[in-house]
Amino acid sequence: MIFELFTNPISFFAWFVALLVAISVHEFSHALAAFKLGDATAKYEGRLTLNPLAHLDPIGTLMILLAGFGWGKPVPVNPLNFDNPRKDHALVALAGPFSNFITAFILSLFLKLPWGASGLLLELFLAPVIILNVKIGIFNLLPIAPLDGFSVVLGFLPQEWAFKWEELQQYGLYILIFSLLPIFGGRSLVELAISPVTNLILNFFL
């Protein structure tokens, strides 16, 4: 992505803005959901905002620019402040990807309005926002720790299964790194898993 800064600076700017929007919406929604469910930890740490500076992790952002994948700064959550810690934490985890899908859907409706000649310029900046929101939303729903999907599954499993599922958390980062390696004909396991769903949703939105 970063190489576009030299070959196509306008495209780079559009995708970088899209990255800021997608990460900010995602992390803000985690913080908002936690606050609404009774945990103000993220609010006290200044995360209840759409300001990208509050949510960007320097190394995670650099990885996105260089390698095409990365992360935002995790939102601090204390499940002990919830009435139902496991299920409420799952709802907080789900709020991030859900907000990305909602953002993409609303912008896709906006993009389909009859803008005339200005529509091409609008698409230049809105299409990347839609695409990244969908991709980040789907990626984070993968049931691999530390992604949101792991906590979502944990929150809705029966108690006896939840304990066994939680034990997998210690291996999550290793599983995720392996899943991101391009060892399947130049494609990663993650790409193979989410590409069909991503393309289906984007074909509908765009």
Q: What is the pLDDT of residues 159-195, one digit of tens each?
A: 999 999 999 999 999 999 999 999 999 999 999 999 9
Q: Measured on CA atoms in the order 61, 106, 14, 196, is the torsion positive or negative?
A: positive
Extract the tokens encoding 79. Answer: 């499940």
Catalytic one of 27, 166, 167, 191: 27
CA distance 185 to 69: 18
75-134 residue pLDDT tens: 999 999 999 999 999 999 999 999 999 999 999 998 888 877 677 878 889 999 999 999
Which residues, 6 or more positions from 206, have their beta carbon under 8 angstroms from its beta carbon? 108, 111, 127, 130, 131
Number of structural domains found in the chain: 1
27 is catalytic: yes
**Calpha distance 157→111 (Å, rounded):** 39
Cβ–Cβ < 8 Å for 158, 87: no
Q: What's the domain range around 78? A: 4-205
